Amino acid sequence: MQLIKAVPILLMLWSICFSEKEQAEDTLRGLTGGSYGVRVKKERAIPENTILSPETITSVKYWTGGYFSNKSEISVTKTKKDVIATYVETDIRGLFVKEFSEIKLDTTQWQHFVNALQKCIGKWDTKYNSGAMDGRQWTLKIFFPDKENNIKIFGSNAVPSNWAEFMGIMNSIKSKTVTKINSSKSENARPMSEISGYALGHQLGIKFRHRDYLKQKPYFNGNIILKYTILPSGEVTNVEILSSTTDHPDFDKDIKNAVAAWKYKAIESGNSTAIISFNFE
């Protein structure tokens, strides 16, 4: 009886191993939800005849990371005064900053960047997926004043055919930035697990503040990088905004005050320094 029940499964495996290549791939796509090392669904990310304009785009963000590796982001954001390019590398949780670099771009550099991006990703799909559950993921987001027009392109262990061209564009931006923080060798009196555990536990409250601001000022987004010191008593002091692309100083101040109110557990001696990144979308 057990052998009879196993016959359909054995036949399916046989068909995958010995049938024609296209038939085998169709079978595997059915088992994996259509993600056998190819694009899951062909859906154009940028509608045909749509032009990416330096005047209408507010921000471009490219993020990459894996389940067990650090995260990194290259972004270019247009504020009321400047165009700011940044590179941020964080820990596995995407919160604590290991490296941060930044530079202001002029109008010509911003225009060249957007034009190059248009030519490169104009025919990209919205998703690229190998079907693997681990490995490396990436996301490209393009923001507009009207949130409904935002573009998001996602990949998991799969990339478009002209990926090298895209990475050339993004790395040219990264190479222009000037390193401001490299905290990979910093020493603290508190273990990083304690510092990160507390911050992660309060991150949701920070996100709620952004949600409240959206009710009054819809569609604004950006990134804030803060540095602060934790005293032996657990009190947080010397909170400093190292970088912000939100273009809303009142919001930045609110986030700074919220972090200043944090209270870690007390230890015998020694200060600790933390640099964290909050991404608001």
52-93 tens-digit pLDDT: 999 999 999 999 988 777 889 999 999 888 999 999 998 877
- CATH topology for 192-280 is TolA/TonB C-terminal domain (3.30.2420)
CB 189 within 8 A of CB 259: no
Q: Which two tokens stand for residue 14?
A: 């046989």
Condensed to tens digits (0 to 9), the pLDDT of residues 209-229 reads 998 888 887 777 888 999 999
Q: What residue spans in the chain does CATH classification 3.30.2420.10 cover? A: 192-280
Helix extents (H) in 98-184: 107-121, 163-176
| CB-based contact 73:91 (threshold 8 Å) | no
| Residue ranges matching CATH 3.30.1560.10 in the chain | 59-182
| Predicted TM-score (pTM) of this structure | 0.72
Q: Find the DSSP H helices in 71-162.
A: 107-121
Classified as helix, coil or strand, 95 is coil
CATH class of 59-182: alpha beta
pLDDT grade for 41, boundaries at 50, 70 and 90: low
Q: What is the pLDDT of residue 221?
A: 81
